Structure 1
């Protein structure tokens, strides 16, 4: 079992217009000066390829290292061609949604979620990249479920109070692995990517 940890702090928004002021609830999460109807996209690299280069439409995405996520870029809502590493696909992006495009050895998997805008809570997001599994993330081995029923190639999300979190990932009733304990902070998103296999899971935190 391998557990990895990365932290990525994205630039705070610049409040240059009334629209930008309205988006300041996303401070620290998304790029500066995004129009209010933007869609946001980042890339997670679930491969051994280094310096993965990506482009969505005419927008270049920052490079992503193995088991790490890029920063976000923003685009107008619409349909785009995505070129991520050696893989390509068409993606449809909706207004005010946040997307994670996961590059796997075989294809691109697109995860869609509501953009997080709380300055009082933390958000835990779980991304399941292990085929044939349905994941539950609990507090410890026998505590309550934090995020439940995350099928393969899906994600689950929950706003929580800022506390120290010691989370354990289960596939059904079988324990897969314990994640690195995290001290949750207000206004931040904690993305837990579950990759690898059931016999050798890889748990990666990305914090932004």
Structure 2
């Protein structure tokens, strides 16, 4: 049998070509992985951003405009905006029916204070004979457990320490959320109807939507201690900003 020899130069050339091909393959795989991440998570806001959304806790529609990335819109009773993304140093300003919102005490500074990086501000609007008023609860924009769904509870009901549980004397989901406070927990994706309670007074049942691992959903207790109302919405970002 005749032995075939490539020679040192040919062997070296073949090895260099193999290394180059491997590098190209690795770069292609890395690029594909980056594309997969981008398609899964989408464009991300700045790391030092904060977040702002508005809940219409009144019985009438309202026109709102938020600082940041969310577009002006008309909110129906019980509706909530997406989280508007605020760049660092931007006040959490909310305009209601063309007027910059003041809090219930008449001070524009409280309702429109500048949040810290990573803060998520939820502003609930109420209306009475004196006009629109705001109550705000500040939390953090983060998932409790990426392998489960995140459930958040916000208590805007005055004079109420809220309990949220499964309808029909089922398990308690949130044992106690003080007025003006929030809580969060991770849950396995389930189908359930939830009820908010202020002492013996209970809200109508609210069906949870189908939640997958990584999803985030907020529950809002509004009304008052005598007549609590439970509503909910998926947590969504207004990002990237819409372009004209």
Give the TM bin, normalised by the shorter chain: 0.7 to 0.9
**Correspondence 1:92 to 2:92:** no
Q: Contact 1:116 / 1:123 at 8 angstroms: preserved in 2?
A: no
Report what 2:136 is aligned to.
Answer: 110
Q: Distance in 2 between matches of 1:53 and 1:167?
A: 29
Q: Distance in 1 between matches of 2:187 and 2:141?
A: 15
- Number of residue equivalences: 182
Instruction: Rate the CA distance shift 1:207–1:92 in 2: closer, same or farther, 3 A.
Output: same
Normalising by structure 2, we get a TM-score of 0.63
Q: Distance in 2 between matches of 1:181 and 1:52?
A: 27
Instruction: Rate the CA distance shift 1:134–1:27 in 2: closer, same or farther, 3 A.
Output: farther
Normalising by structure 1, we get a TM-score of 0.73
Q: Contact 2:162 / 2:196 at 8 angstroms: preserved in 1?
A: yes
Report what 2:205 is aligned to.
Answer: 179
Deviations 1:117-154 (A, max 9, x none): 34421122222222111001123343332112212222
Report what 1:156 is aligned to.
Answer: 183
**Superposition CA RMSD, Å:** 2.9
Higher helix content, 1 or 2: 2
Whose RCO is larger (CA < 8 A, sep 6+)?
Answer: 1
Runs of at least 5 residues in structure 1 that lack an aligned partner in the other structure: 1-20
Q: Contact 2:159 / 2:225 at 8 angstroms: preserved in 1?
A: no
What pairs with 1:42-81 in structure 2 (closer than 5 Å)? 42-56=53-67, 61-63=71-73, 64-78=75-89, 80=91
Q: Secondary structure at the match of 2:113?
A: strand
Report the Cα offset of residue 168 of structure 1.
2.2
Higher strand content, 1 or 2: 1
Q: 2:216 aligns with which of 182, 189, 197?
A: 189
Q: Contact 1:61 / 1:71 at 8 angstroms: preserved in 2?
A: no
Provide runs of 4+ in structure 1 moved above 6 Å.
none
Instruction: Rate the CA distance shift 1:35–1:196 in 2: closer, same or farther, 3 A.
Output: same
Decide which structure has the larger Cα Rg and report it: 2
Greater displacement, 157-166 / 73-82: 73-82
